[in-house]
Amino acid sequence: MPRFSIQEGYRITGEFEIPEGVSVIGRHPEASLPLTKHPGVSREHCRIVNQAGVVTVEDLQSRNGTFLNGKPLDSMAELRHNDYLQIDNVLLLYSALDVMPSSRTDIIERAETTSKLSYVQEVGEKLRKNIVKVIQGKDEVVRLVVVALFSDGHVLLEDVPGVGKTKLAQALAKSVNTNFKRIQFTPDMLPNDITGVNVFDESTGKFVFMPGPIFSNVVLADEINRGTPRVQSALLECMSESRITVDGSSYILHKPFFVIATQNPVDFHGTYPLPEAQLDRFLMRLSLGYPDPESEKLVLERQAMSNPLVSLSSVIESSDLLHCQSLVQKVHVSEAFRDYVVTLVNRTREHEALAYGCSTRASLALLRASQAQAALEGRDHVLPRDARDLALYVLPHRMQLRVQARATWRSTSAVLEEILGQLPMSLWE
């Protein structure tokens, strides 16, 4: 019989066998699966129908929405083995090993009222305006962070101390009404300090999992390159798959999941360079740089009396962000755009100054970031110039200069600038 494993927070608290017919999940005590302890759950939140082994789910116009595999559910969909429903702070992990699959494949098309790209523009603009209340003179960096967030990617901020990397991450976290955790990396940290650990509970005689700080929606990995490579690698699985495995048990992370990491330049004392596999997990690497004189005067004026973070409040919900991430993936991608991205990435693999070029993950990252930028600008299609404009933030940290080329080229960004100059937009637009 198909069943749900109920994960409240990050602990499995029970199971629910799905009977034949209709079952209702909600906060009402008489619901088939009552979730009475969660105020974000509606009285009748969603409907589960089990008919001849085919299990479908439908949202009942709930206040905060139902999410299937991290995507908002706006119409009936069929559940498949290992799918998961997210309802407020509850995950329902679907298991149907003994159920024959049906021929139904896709989620029914989204309702027209929520598919308008103006919704993405509106949410993105509210988020951007709230962040710039704290970060003055860095509008382009703030815009790129919002692009990465809407792309369902992660961001690495690399710069000298004191230019606002951590404050930018905190402003973003406070702007979204969701869970936020900060991890301060140090050389003596262990992987379990991030992922969590199983602790023996004497009262029950069993081991109980204590989640680490990575179990959150927005995670600030502060000074990530002060942790050893062993600790840095603890982020690999969660950043690429949104799940964590501890002592053989796998835990799904709630969506949205966004890591914004800061690091000091690698030549600073007490730092460890990030492994190539870890760098490749970040959608973008950004640098804030020093503010211009006028912006710095404004910072001194506004922060003379108080920290602007104290008065900053959230302007969007996590469900708004999930809806936007889903809409971004529906932005049309043309054949010309795909051809431009593949040509650009192949040039990085063939360039004599590079030890290795960009991977297929880099191509996908550039595609997703371009879709987000187009949606935030109100376009339902991407242009090759989107990829060109974003390439200098998405690709350089995924490449490495040859030792012999370091005397000629100052960085991989310089190599990429030359490659971009050899690919005129007139060939694709």
How are beta strands 46-51 and 21-26 bridged, if at all? antiparallel
Both tokens of residue 321?
A: 């962000």
Can you count the helices (H) and strands (E) in the chain?
14, 24
CA angle 211, 217, 222 (to 5 degrees): 80
pLDDT above 60 for 31: yes
Average pLDDT, the chain: 88
User: What order do you get walking across the sheet with 54-59 strand by strand?
Assistant: 33-34, 21-26, 46-51, 54-59, 77-78
For residue 327, give the H/E element and its range: helix 318-328
Judge: domain 116-305, CATH 3.20.20.80. Answer: no
Stretch 155-162: mean pLDDT:
89
Let me know if 177 is exposed, middle or buried by CB neighbors in 10 A (0-12, 13-18, 19+): middle
- Higher pLDDT residue, 97 or 244? 244
The one-letter amino acid at 51: Q
pLDDT (tens digit per residue) in 269-290: 778 888 888 899 999 999 988 8
Q: Where are the domains of the chain?
A: 3-95, 116-305, 331-422
Residue 97 confidence (pLDDT): 58
pLDDT above 60 for 15: yes
pLDDT (tens digit per residue) in 87-137: 988 999 898 755 544 433 333 333 343 457 889 999 999 999 999 999 988
What distance in Å separates the CA atoms of residue 55 and residue 17, rounded to the nearest whole number?
12
pLDDT (tens digit per residue) in 370-382: 999 999 999 999 9
3-95 topology per CATH: Tumour Suppressor Smad4 (2.60.200)
Residue with tokens 């021929």: 103
What distance in Å separates the CA atoms of residue 143 and residue 141, rounded to the nearest whole number?
5
Tell me whether the omega of the peptide bond preceding residue 308 falls within 30 degrees of 0, making it cis: no
What distance in Å separates the CA atoms of residue 253 and residue 218, rounded to the nearest whole number?
11
Stretch 253-273: mean pLDDT:
83
CB 428 within 8 A of CB 336: yes
331-422 topology per CATH: Helicase, Ruva Protein; domain 3 (1.10.8)
Cα radius of gyration rounded to whole Å, the chain: 23
- In percent, the amount of the chain with pLDDT more than 90 equals 53
What distance in Å separates the CA atoms of residue 274 and residue 278, rounded to the nearest whole number?
6
pLDDT above 70 for 240: yes
pLDDT (tens digit per residue) in 206-226: 888 889 999 999 999 999 989
CB 250 within 8 A of CB 244: yes
The predicted model scores a pTM of: 0.81
pLDDT band at residue 266, thresholds of 50, 70 and 90?
low
